Amino acid sequence: MSKHISFKNPCHVHFIGIGGISMSGLAEILLDRGFTVTGSDRSETELTTHLTELGAHIFYPQAAENIDKANEISKIDVVVYTAAIHPDNPEFVRTNDLGLKIIRRAELLGSIMDEYPLAIAVAGTHGKTTTTSMISEIFLAKDGNLEKTENGYVFSDKNKDKVPTVTVGGILPAINSNVLVGSSETFIAEACEYQNSFLEFYPEYALVLNVEEDHLDFFKDINDIRNSFHTYCSHVREDGAVIISDKIPEYKALTEGINRKVITFGISAEGNGPDDADSTAKDISVNEKGCYSFTPIYKGEELPHVTLHVPGRHNILNALAAIAVCKEAGVSNESIIRGLSDFSGTHRRFEYRGTFNGATVIDDYAHHPTEMAATISAAKNVKHNKLIVVFQPHTYTRLRAFLQQFADVLSEADTVVLAPVYAAREKDVYGVHSTDIRNILVKKGCDAYAFDSFSEIEEFLSKKVADGDLLITMGAGDVVTVANDITKQ
């Protein structure tokens, strides 16, 4: 197990890029545990301001002298960085020059996870944020310990020992944050496979929602990805369990030889009856908002009927995975159903943003063909005239790997508008652009357009979108800007 820090011996941790959604969450956990926390980022944000109010010392922008300034507060014991930090980063260079201990964000997260007797890690190509949030909502509802209001759960010092610690890759409305610091023995976190980050984790319960090709700038192929997931499953603690979808091709190979309890979840291919999985569902129906209702079944036991308040059939599977881990952790049926019923989604997951020209505007984080197909499928169950999708590809390598699949999925929409690629950590050296998707769609006879800027897209939408339409801005970059602009948020 990772032992870079210990809650019993709080030390000084410096974060290079402390304002990231994951880094800020880890910093907040350490602050609560009495650690000295310093860090840096490009500019001040709401997240960094919040950390400063909690006692962190943050420097802007990133510079070599920040390491020296932090050392003046007290000697730095550990420096943490993310994949977005390159070896030529001035703070990274200064850290190495001084011979300070430096670790990746995932190594710190693994160390924090080791401190909790009940650690739950949620992995998979898709659905991590939603499923992590569902599990968190269930634990918040556990045995009626916490009171939920219109503004989320009410916390106080007297019930903090019943509150789980949560770190999630999005804003969960129930806690109005990406992190929740509790004092119970429960820790709930996403486990990302990129750069094998999740191999730093040794949880009590390891969830595997799905395994598909992605992050091909790091992994060689699907077999390389599957090998990493097998190793992740092998890291489960001796008395723990792997919770895995039985719809993953040859899923048994991912748990072969690990000598741990394996629990499956799934629904029948027809979608109207139970599967042979341990966690399954029957009596499945969908309402006019695209949200599903079903009767959960866990190891032959029927749980009370539940109606989800997040659209899409794929969310039944996310819920069944959440049910499995919570049942194994001893959570009551009542708390499970209450938590799932209360869950209203996370930011940027089929999130309602407002109206524009009489159309409903939804924003969604989907950036992989499978995720996009699930979002578009959910949209088709929502009453509308035309479905208009504004899509921003995320990274050139992903666009190159899934060019045809992107076009095939987007062709299900009535109109497709392509924004420029969100490069993230990459440079434009791959010879592929959003216009390549448009060209394939046009050849298919689809109504498709590509623009060079969000302002051009917004001008186009002002003329294209009509009353009764459903407009979705889609992608993992900053395409949400379009939804915000046109709905004046």
Integer Cα distance of 46 and 44 in angstroms: 7
Rg (CA), the chain: 23
Residue 268: CA count within 13 A, CB half-sphere: 14
Runs of H (alpha helix) within 329-368: 333-342
99: region left, alpha or beta (phi > 0 left; psi from -120 to 50 alpha): left
Per the annotation, the verdict on 204 as an active-site residue is: no
How far is it between the farthest Cα atoms of the chain? 64
As given in the structure block, the two tokens for residue 445 are 């006879």
Amino acid occupying residue 454: F
Residue 53 — φ and ψ, nearest 5°?
-65, -30
Cα-based angle 386, 389, 391 (whole degrees, multiple of 5) = 170
Residue 305 burial by CB count (10 A; 0-12/13-18/19+): exposed, middle or buried? middle
Per the annotation, the verdict on 128 as an active-site residue is: yes
Residues 202-240 as b/e (b if ≥16 CB within 10 A, e otherwise) read: bbbbbbbbbbebbbbbebeeeeebbebbbebbbbbbeeb
**Active-site residue, selected from the candidate residues 48, 129, 165, 473:** 129
As given in the structure block, the two tokens for residue 247 are 């719809």
**Active-site residue, selected from the candidate residues 125, 128, 280, 346:** 128
Per the annotation, the verdict on 280 as an active-site residue is: no
**Active-site residue, selected from the candidate residues 137, 190, 200, 351:** 190
Q: Give, for 121, the enclosing helix (H) or strand (E).
A: strand 118-123
Positions marked catalytic:
128-129, 190
